[in-house]
Amino acid sequence: MSKFSSWPQTFIPQPIDVAKPKLRLHDTNRGLVEISADKKFAIYVCGITPYDATHLGHAATYLTFDLINRYLKFIGTEVRYVQNITDIDDPLFERAKRDLVDWQSLGTSQVQLFADDMTYLRVIPPNNFVAVTEKIDDFAIAVKKMIENGSAYRLENDIYFDLTDFLSELKLPLDQAHQIFAERGGDPDRSGKRTKLDPILWCGPKAGEPSWQTVLGAGRPGWHIECVVIASDYLNSEKMEFSIDLQGGGSDLIFPHHFMCSAINQKLNQKKFAQYFIHTGMLGLDGEKMSKSKGNLVFVSNYRKNGLDPMVLRLALIKDPFQSDRMWEEKKIAQAAIEIELIRSALALQACQPVRAVIEKALHQIANNLDVKSAIQTILDWSKLSLDVKNNENKEKFVNETGLMARFLDSVLGIAL
């Protein structure tokens, strides 16, 4: 039984009997690739640190992986999807201290908020929604194993991963790597480390911070080891050379987090971590990156509390190319509302333009790196033709298939109308 319950299961309609192309996605390391997902597929998506949930950038990320999950299910793949909750993290402790609240209560309330937002947006819940605080002993056991196999070392009260064998795989200049590492919680300048980029695996006890008694003594886990252990404990790729099939998250996780996960997994489990690395672009507002430090976050819960139709927000967030950095604009809501209204009106008709060819076209567009914008245009064109009262010449071909279109929209795009 997990510490935090995931959100309620979403109804997924029966798949439709149409031609189903293989999914192609933009992989961060390799560009556009065809996803090999014949029978089973294991997805691990890095979850939230529960203190600023759920801004639209988070929502866009989890919606992207929801689309991947939905597409693979639609083509008949058995998908297992795991997401963690980073409920031990410096920013969470800092926020709790600032707001004079207990870090655990802050975490619990933010996880609940996140779950409510995901339910609202019709995101299929993960098979396992795992809090880091549930797995402390497993992290300690993994780190102990790494000390024993020589890939980790002690430095005073802490334990680090030795990154030496992986420095040649860095995709950015060393100076830049040091800088980003420092910005994202790393400590390149601590003396005694084997390489400046060695990430911390285990932090010894510190005054004012929680710590747990484990096989390593007292302390708490570092960030990267958490995702490696959770992913490999709950998931299993059918492909022998990988622990899981796909690791996902926002593009701010490419380095250091996902680079470190991959390196640590190779030393811990003697396999590559994931076959595919899929990252979502950052969402900005008014020309600037949306971030806590700039204080310009827009929250899903604000729209939810104001009673916005969740399908409108969902469509507005999934339309743009997922891997690109992009600006959020309020007018996207108005545009999505017009489109949802149009499609809803077409679905309410007794008879419509034939749908199978339309679905197949839209499916091809979605299979092409989740090109939702084109797929929605295809559906809008169908809606307009179906609603056109002057469209007399085609009226004799009209069919009673609006239910099929509704099933398609719900299964593949998560848009239930």
Task: For helices 90-98 and 103-120, give the axis angle rounded to 10 degrees.
Answer: 110
Q: Does 260 bind Zn ion (CB under 5 A)?
A: no
Stretch that binds Zn ion, among 45-53, 235-243, 354-362, 407-415 (CB under 5 A): 45-53
Nearest-angstrom CA–CA distance, 243 and 262: 10
In the complex, what is the shortest distance from the CB of residue 390 to Zn ion, in angstroms, rounded to a whole number?
55
Q: Which is nearer to Zn ion, 47 or 310 (CB)?
A: 47
**Number of residues located near Zn ion, criterion CB under 5 A:** 2
Cβ atoms within 10 Å of 315's Cβ, excluding its own: 25
46 near Zn ion, judged by CB under 5 A = yes
**Toward Zn ion, which CB reaches closer, 230 or 346?**
230
User: Interacting stretch for Zn ion, rule CB under 5 A, among 38-46, 66-74, 278-286, 307-315?
Assistant: 38-46
Asked whether 267 and 160 are in contact (CB, 8 A), the reply is no
In the three-class reduction of DSSP (H, G, I as helix; E, B as strand; rest coil), residue 311 is classed as helix
Q: Rule CB under 5 A: is residue 132 a binding residue for Zn ion?
A: no
Which residue's structure tokens are 């293989």?
22
Question: Cα angle vertex 105, ends 104, 110, to 5°?
Answer: 100
Q: Which is nearer to Zn ion, 99 or 183 (by Cβ)?
A: 183
Q: Which of 74, 49, 76 is nearest to 410 (CA)?
A: 74
Question: Smallest gap, in angstroms, from Cβ of residue 169 to Zn ion?
Answer: 18
What's the min distance (Å) between Cβ of 259 and Zn ion?
11
Tell me: does residue 274 bind Zn ion (CB under 5 A). no
Q: Could you write out the DSSP letters of every residue in 190-217? A: -TT-SSTTPPEEEEPP-TTS--EEETTE
Torsion angles phi and psi, residue 259, rounded to 5: -60, -45
Q: Is 246 in the site for Zn ion (CB under 5 A)?
A: no
Backbone angles phi, psi at 135, to 5 degrees: -120, 20
Of residues 247 and 386, the one with the C-beta less far from Zn ion: 247
Q: How far is the CB of 202 from Zn ion (least distance, A)?
A: 17
Q: How far is the CB of 362 from Zn ion (least distance, A)?
A: 32
Which residue stretch of 41-49, 127-135, 194-202, 264-272 sits at the interface with Zn ion (rule: CB under 5 A)?
A: 41-49
Q: Which is nearer to Zn ion, 222 or 310 (CB)?
A: 222
Name residue 254's amino acid.
Answer: I
Closest CB to Zn ion among residues 86, 383: 86
Q: Residue 217 half-sphere exposure, CB side, CA atoms within 13 Å?
A: 10
Mapping DSSP to helix (H, G, I), strand (E, B) and coil, where does residue 108 land?
helix
> How many angstroms separate the CA atoms of 283 and 298, rounded?
10
CB of 359 to Zn ion, least distance (A): 35
Q: Does 278 bind Zn ion (CB under 5 A)?
A: no
Token digits of residue 149: 């196999």
Residue range at the interface with Zn ion (CB under 5 A); choices 46-54, 101-109, 228-236, 399-407 = 46-54
227 binding Zn ion? (CB under 5 A): yes
> Which residue is it, tokens 């747990």?
212
Residue range at the interface with Zn ion (CB under 5 A); choices 43-51, 65-73, 363-371, 376-384: 43-51
- Separation between Cα atoms, residue 330 and residue 327, nearest integer Å: 10
227 vs 370, which CB is nearer to Zn ion? 227
Contacts with Zn ion, residue ranges (CB under 5 A): 46, 227
